[in-house]
Amino acid sequence: MNDLGRTIEALLFLSPQPVGVADLAEAAEATAGQVEEAIGLLREDLVEGRRGVVLREVAGGFALAADPAAEAAGRRLLAKPRTPPLTQAQAETLAIVAYLQPISRPEITRIRGVSADSATATLLERGLIEAAGHSQFGAVLYRTSTQFLKLFGLRTLAELPDVARWDPDPQEQAQLRERLLRAGEVRVGNARPGELDGDERV
């Protein structure tokens, strides 16, 4: 398969909807004739029974689809319950663990300003963090897991973005502090009992 053929295959893989020749040509910066020729070669390469995916012409465009032989296996895979997204509290807790590990739950709570019990328990249950011994005071220390690296596409923790990229200057710090104080005052004024546990979804 030539470079254009690989590009067309990648575009069809990325698109959730069938893509027409004109749109493929525009994206690939090629002529319609070149795209049609590439599609012909791709169709031969993805003929039914040879690969796990096949090329379909549907709804006025082209799309990649699973080989019919894999339908039963696909249904079993997609029938599994999907993992819900992280809440804001869980994401904050995970970021703290990632950058400050190993770290204890009391330390996480001090940094966040609210209880980290629920968020930490959920991250443990989902396998994103794991126990890493105890602090000198007996508290359990936590670190990120291999599952964390897989989820975020990291080879090692050294590939985490440098926090200095988000380090605000004094003026930005003052502005941020003022915004947080105003938001906190509004939140406390509007909150009902039991709402300030830090684990609400966004």
Give per-residue pLDDT as tens, 120-143.
999 999 999 999 999 888 899 999
Say yes or no to pLDDT of 181 above 80: no
pLDDT in the model for residue 119: 92
Higher pLDDT, 188 or 61: 61
Say yes or no to pLDDT of 193 above 80: no
Contact 11, 62 (CB under 8 A): no
Give per-residue pLDDT as tens, 3-31.
888 899 999 999 888 899 999 999 989 99
In the structure, what pLDDT confidence band is assigned to residue 169 with cuts at 50, 70 and 90? low
Higher pLDDT, 165 or 51: 51
In the structure, what pLDDT confidence band is assigned to residue 185 with cuts at 50, 70 and 90? low
Q: Which domains does the chain have, with CATH numbers?
A: 3-67 (1.10.10.10), 88-178 (1.10.10.10)
